[in-house]
Homo-oligomer: A and B are copies of this chain.
């Protein structure tokens, strides 16, 4: 789809269902409302794409699961936040950018945000494949975080020292799991791509031991575009201040 023609997006939930402009899909995340969470850590959003059979990767890569519409809405979400984080394993698995295209960068500037979100790579091994796999975006800074420290502490430091109030995490499944298990994730965005993938060694969006969450995830919105369902859930981590 050419960049100039915005795709057809249906908001299914909350009612009333209707066609909306793509730019309205996550408008509640625009500043300043979404940033004030009363916590010492940022508000943490997790965004993943999965097939109907729950696979978050094909042949070790996530990039091929979602269609163009998923990539458009992923970039829209990035355009709202102060930082975009991935685990080093995800970055090692495929070449990716963590930035937004020019039109969205301009919109960020007009809203008083930095031109690009801070690119964040969490690593334990130090092997982050920055040179080979991180596609450079102009005017985007990159911060490599040592994941051996406590995750909660690392997030607090991001808020205190780097001004990250709204953080988007794009996997991998182990990082997602660690954040949710520790009650450090607030919002889950799952794109359900109209695919059936199969495969014995495919990952799902969470990788780690069985979870026992205090509160069930709650549907916040459902959008449909080009066969892809965009599902958004509030995770209500324990101890989380209301938004």
Q: Are A204 and B12 in contact (CB under 8 A)?
A: no
On whether the beta carbons of A217 and B196 are closer than 8 Å, the reply is yes
Known: A204-B204, A219-B227. A233 touches B13 (CB 8 A): no
State the CA gap A232–B190 with chains docked (Å): 17
**Whole-angstrom CA separation of A194 from B217 in the bound complex:** 5
Task: Convert A195-214 into 0s and 1s, putting 1 for each residue whose CB lies closer than 8 angstroms to a CB of B.
Answer: 11111101011111111010
Residues 39-78 of A at the B interface (beta carbon under 8 Å)? 50, 52-56, 58-59
The one of B13, B50, B188 in contact with A17, judged by C-beta atoms closer than 8 angstroms, is B13
Min CB gap A16→B, angstroms: 6
Cα–Cα distance between A148 and B125 once the two chains are bound (Å):
48
Let me know if A13 and B12 touch, CB within 8 A.
Answer: yes
Interface centre among A12, A196, A204, A206 (most CB of B within 10 A): A196
- B54 and A50 contact, CB distance less than 8 A: yes
Query: Residue A231 at the B interface, CB < 8 A?
Result: yes
Partner pick for A195 among B59, B216, B231, CB 8 A cutoff: B216
| Set of chain B residues within 8 Å of A164, measured between Cβ atoms | none
Taking the closest CB of chain B, its distance from the CB of A53, in whole angstroms, is: 4
The answer on a CB contact under 8 Å between B218 and A222 is: no
**Interface residues in A, total, Cβ within 8 A:** 48
Contacts of A58 in B (CB 8 A): 210
Q: Write out the residue numbers on chain B whose beta carbons fall within 8 Å of the beta carbon of A195.
A: 213, 216-217
Residue contact A199 to B194, C-beta cutoff 8 Å: no
| CA–CA, A104 and B227, complex, Å | 33
Could you tell me the distance in whole angstroms from the C-beta of A218 to the nearest C-beta in chain B? Answer: 6
Known contacts A18-B15, A55-B54; A196 and B204 CB within 8 A of each other: no
Residue interface bits A210-238, CB-to-B below 8 A is 1, else 0: 11010011110010100101010100000
Residue A159 lies at the interface, judged by CB distance under 8 Å to chain B? no
For this complex, 23 residue pairs linking A to B, each with C-beta atoms less than 8 Å apart, are A12-B12, A12-B13, A13-B224, A15-B17, A16-B17, A17-B17, A52-B205, A52-B233, A54-B205, A59-B210, A177-B198, A188-B196, A194-B218, A195-B217, A196-B206, A196-B211, A196-B213, A196-B217, A197-B206, A198-B206, A199-B210, A200-B209, A218-B227
